[in-house]
Amino acid sequence: MAEGSTTRVWGMRLMYLALALVLIFAQLIPLDFRPQAWAGPDLLVAFTFAWALRRPEFVPALSIGLVVLLADLLFLRPPGLWAALMVLGTQALRNRARNLRDQPFVMEWLAVAGVFLAISVANRLVLAILMVPQAPLGLTIIHVLMTLICYPVVVMLSQWVFGVRKAAPGDLDRLGQRI
């Protein structure tokens, strides 16, 4: 029993890495080179948060850090900053995961919105302080809003397609003990 759940945990960790690579890949496909007036949702962030709230053991901090760092490097963002903020953000959500488990979904949504807003503002502040050129503010706001709007869809997808559910009472953790 314990061994089976360990393989599942490692399988899902690999699944997270594969999913992240697919999302990065999908964004890199060269289809349209005109600048767009609106920014699409950041699905990588939404999936990472949804998984970190449901099954923190599937998304260890190291894999989040590496995946977002890779995205930073490929998407021409300042390398490391957004990755560090994402690790901190998921860590904050992870600490609240136990309390949020019994709450309705709206509370979880609000928590995610709070964390995402906080790290986006922190990102802009750090870039402003270090005088790094930034994207227009309007575009960032649209980006944050779109990501938050898409969050419920991402949650449904991860529950139904990937089977990432909240731990129910009576579920066993990696060591075969009650969570």
Partner 1 sequence: MAKDKSQADDYLAPLKRLLVGLLVLCLIGLFLLWRIDSPRVERFRAAVVDRVVPSFDWAMAPVTATVNLVRDFQSYQRIVQQNQDLRNELQKMKAWKEAALQLEQENARLLDLNKVRLDPRLTFVTGVVLADSGSPFRQSVLLNVGARDGIVDGWATMDGIGLVGRISGVGRDTSRVILLTDPASRIPATIQPSGQTAIVQGDNTAAPPISFLEDPDLVRPGDRVVSSGDGGVFPAGLLIGQVAADPGGRLRVILAADYERLEFLRVLRNPGTEVIRDPGALVAPQDQRLAPSPLPEDGAILSETEGSNG
Piece in contact with partner 1 (CB under 8 A), picked from 9-17, 133-141, 147-155, 157-165: 133-141
Query: Mutual orientation of helices 137-160 and 43-54 as an angle, nearest 10°?
Result: 50
Enumerate residues 37-96 that contact partner 1 by CB under 8 A: 38-40, 61-62, 65, 69-70, 73-81, 83-84, 87-88, 91
| Distance from chain centroid for Cα 166 | 16
Output the smallest distance, CB 159 to partner 1, in A: 26
Length of the chain in terms of residues written: 179
**31 vs 161 by CB, closer to partner 1:** 31
Q: For 30-54, b where at least 16 C-beta lie within 10 A, e where not — what string?
A: eeeeeeeeebebbbbbbbbbbbbbb
Which residue in the set 14, 121, 128, 135 belongs to the binding site for partner 1 (CB under 8 A)? 135
Structure tokens at 38: 């609106």
Residue of 161, 151, 156, 157 lying closest to 41 (CA atoms): 151
Residue 113 engages partner 1 in binding (rule: CB under 8 A) = no
Q: Which of 27, 96, 122, 150 binds partner 1 (CB under 8 A)?
A: 27
| Closest-CA residue to 98 (of 150, 130, 138, 56) | 56
Q: Which residues bind partner 1 (CB under 8 A)?
A: 24-25, 27-36, 38-40, 61-62, 65, 69-70, 73-81, 83-84, 87-88, 91, 130, 132-133, 135-136, 139-140, 143, 175, 177-178
